[in-house]
Copies of this chain bind each other. A is one copy, B any other.
Amino acid sequence: MPGALVVLSGGMDSAVCLASEASTLDRKAPLLALTFDYGQRHRVEIERAHALAEHYRAEHIIVALDRAPFAGSALTDLSLDVPAASSQSTRSVPVAPRIPSTYVPARNTIFLAIAIGVAESRDLDSVTIGVNAIDYSGYPDCRPEFIEAFREVARLGQRRGVEGSPVQVKAPLLLLDKAAIVRLGASLSVPFEMTWSCYRGGPDPCGSCDACELRRRGFAAAGIEDPAIRDRRLSEP
């Protein structure tokens, strides 16, 4: 029975990926949600990831990554400011994106490397990651050519690949714009109010960083109200 692993950040994109896998997988097949704790500012993401995993009855694994040897990203280095929104929205995939200070060196390479290792050791057939190259922040490791290169690594570097059934690396959101991701999530009944997008640490989304701005525009373009905003509005006096 084919099992699946989903890299789950607690953001809306990875929540849609988890919903998609949960909807197609046999009910008895193993579903694993893998969350990385890399000292990110937005730690509320990890709590949201756990709640989402429970919602989809996925086994939730949190892998702690030692960030001591790393330096220089605004997402993990608390001495750097998170910049205000300046994301790139494009219909074509940019060849040489402008890379913001929130870039974390080799983040998706590290996430995928550990994900395919965990998947193989647990005999799961696929790894799904919610990267997106259309409405995105300009990270090089969110582009189709990166995902394609990583598939080769999985095919050539693992026992399963040598044996002819490599761990599949799936990136179903790669070429969707944010509005399409919102619509896909809505069609799968994703509890968007449980997801967290903001790069800053809360308690409420800041509304001004790249991630907040992408989310706002995505819901607006899809013509759907963001339930996280609705819930906040309803809870206000």
List residues of chain A with CB under 8 Å of any chain B CB. Answer: 34, 61, 63-64, 66, 68-73, 96-97, 99, 103-110, 112-114, 116-118, 120-122, 140-141, 143, 145-146, 149-150, 152-159, 161-162
Interchain CB contact under 8 A, B113 and A117: no
- Chain A at the B interface: mostly helix, strand, loop or mixed? helix
Give chain B nearest CB distance to A33 CB in angstroms: 11
Residues of B near A122 (CB, < 8 A) are 69, 71
Q: A63-B66, A108-B157, A146-B157 are in contact. List 19 more A-B contacts (CB 8 A).
A: A61-B68, A69-B114, A69-B121, A70-B118, A103-B159, A105-B117, A106-B114, A106-B120, A106-B157, A110-B117, A112-B113, A113-B113, A113-B114, A140-B157, A141-B156, A149-B149, A149-B156, A150-B153, A153-B153
Interchain CB contact under 8 A, B146 and A153: yes
In Å, the complex CA distance between A99 and B118 comes to 18
Interchain CB contact under 8 A, A162 and B99: yes
Interchain CB contact under 8 A, A120 and B146: no
> A156's contact among B71, B72, B145, by CB below 8 Å, is which?
B145
Residues of B near A156 (CB, < 8 A) are 140-141, 143, 145-146, 149
Interchain CB contact under 8 A, B121 and A71: yes
Interchain CB contact under 8 A, B116 and A159: no
In Å, the complex CA distance between A99 and B113 comes to 19
Residues of B near A143 (CB, < 8 A) are 156
Give chain B nearest CB distance to A39 CB in angstroms: 13
Give chain B nearest CB distance to A171 CB in angstroms: 13
